[in-house]
Amino acid sequence: MNNIVSFSDCAQMCMTCSLTCTGCAAACLDENDLEMMRECIKRCLDCADICNLCARSEQRSSAFMQEICQLCAQMCDYCAKECSKHDAEHCQQCAETCQQCAAECRKMAT
């Protein structure tokens, strides 16, 4: 019996975004001016959590999937706004990934 699991573009993007945000937060902890990175770290960790929730909710066809996808898009925008303020490559990459994830989540939320 073949039990191949397929994931939507949104679920895949959410998992990618979650890992990218977690990596960004970890890299921010290694920056010289930790105080300057505090808000970025908070937003990245929050975004990673919401992205994980969104991917899992979508995979099980949650009754609240559209609402969770909308919240995830908002959180990704919020994270991208902060990450884009920092010149560090990991922050710029995170901002770009968050923007892509927000776009995929909006597609699912409609």
CATH value at residue 89: 1.20.1270.360
pLDDT of residue 1: 45
The secondary structure element, H or E, covering residue 73 is helix 65-83
Q: Which residues of the chain have pLDDT under 50?
A: 1
Q: Is residue 2 part of a domain?
A: no
Structure tokens at 12: 């895949």
pLDDT of residue 7: 72
- From CA 31, how far away is CA 55, in angstroms rounded? 30
Within the chain, residue ranges assigned H as helices are 9-28, 34-59, 65-83, 89-109
Look at the chain and report how many structural domains it folds into.
1
pLDDT of residue 110: 84
Q: What's the Rg (C-alpha) of the chain?
A: 14
pLDDT of residue 109: 82
pLDDT of residue 10: 92
Q: Is residue 8 part of a domain?
A: no
pLDDT of residue 6: 63
Q: Is residue 71 part of a domain?
A: yes
CA angle (70 as vertex; 67, 74 as ends), nearest 5: 140
Q: Is residue 1 part of a domain?
A: no
